[in-house]
Chain A
Amino acid sequence: DGGITQSPKYLFRKEGQNVTLSCEQNLNHDAMYWYRQDPGQGLRLIYYSQIVNDFQKGDIAEGYSVSREKKESFPLTVTSAQKNPTAFYLCASSGLEGSAGYTFGSGTRLTVV
């Protein structure tokens, strides 16, 4: 079955360390997105990519980096420059015109210890 997979589900990081969150999809979707969600808040866009080897900053890109070397994969690195990284991270994908909406992965909960 087609879908989008995020791993790991839970992640603990020490302050000052970089950490990479995985996102893989086999839906043949062109566009992929990374969101951050804090308790009781909406989704905030970190980065998005509409084509391989190209990506754009979202509203809160500072302290994060991404790559899109393959259509199926869009990993997110949370760097030590991100001052408050503890959050729920969601990856999503869609066709370019998006009329079918977004398909979401199950999310990664990152905690800084």
Chain B
Amino acid sequence: GQNIDQPTEMTATEGAIVQINCTYQTSGFNGLFWYQQHAGEAPTFLSYNVLDGLEEKGRFSSFLSRSKGYSYLLLKELQMKDSASYLCAPMDSNYQLIWGAGTKLIIKP
């Protein structure tokens, strides 16, 4: 079957660094996406990894290991506006995104 595993909730301090881990199992693989979703809003695209390694984009970086079925999202210099849910979504062989429940990140001053 297809499965996504992420922590349900994490707490971090403003200005710090946090790493959100994701393990996945899919039928085929066409890359992995990370989305950010603020409460009551639609998800917005953060990053896409299709090859192993690290992709950096400003304060956000995403890592992928295809052989381990593992990805992480690294957020640096945390700001209060980063309080949101972070969704790990691998793409299966039919080019469909598979969604887990996401990780709710709480930032404290």
Q: A42 contacts B42, CB within 8 Å?
A: no
Q: B101 contacts A42, CB within 8 Å?
A: yes
- Asked whether A99 is an interface residue with its Cβ less than 8 Å from the other chain, the reply is yes
> Which of B30, B50, B99, B100 has the most A CB atoms < 10 Å from its CB?
B99
* CB contact under 8 A between A42 and B95, given known A99-B50, A104-B42, A104-B44: no
Return chain B residues, CB-CB under 8 Å to A74.
none
Q: A88 contacts B48, CB within 8 Å?
A: no
Complex Cα distance, B85 from A43, in Å, reads 12
> Looking at chain B's contact residues, is the secondary structure mostly helix, strand, loop, or mixed?
loop
Complex Cα distance, B31 from A109, in Å, reads 30
Q: A106 contacts B42, CB within 8 Å?
A: yes
Of the candidates A40, A96, A104, the one whose C-beta lies within 8 Å of that of B95 is A96
For this complex, into which size category does the number of interface residues on chain B fall? 20 to 34
Q: B95 contacts A101, CB within 8 Å?
A: no
Q: B97 contacts A102, CB within 8 Å?
A: yes
Q: A42 contacts B102, CB within 8 Å?
A: yes
Return chain B residues, CB-CB under 8 Å to A34.
none
- Asked whether A105 is an interface residue with its Cβ less than 8 Å from the other chain, the reply is yes
Q: Chain A interface (Cβ within 8 Å of chain B)?
A: 31, 35, 40-45, 48, 88, 90, 94, 96-107, 109
Beyond known contacts A44-B99, A88-B40, A107-B42: 14 more, CB 8 A cutoff: A31-B95, A42-B102, A43-B43, A43-B87, A96-B95, A98-B30, A98-B91, A98-B97, A102-B43, A102-B45, A102-B97, A104-B42, A104-B44, A106-B42
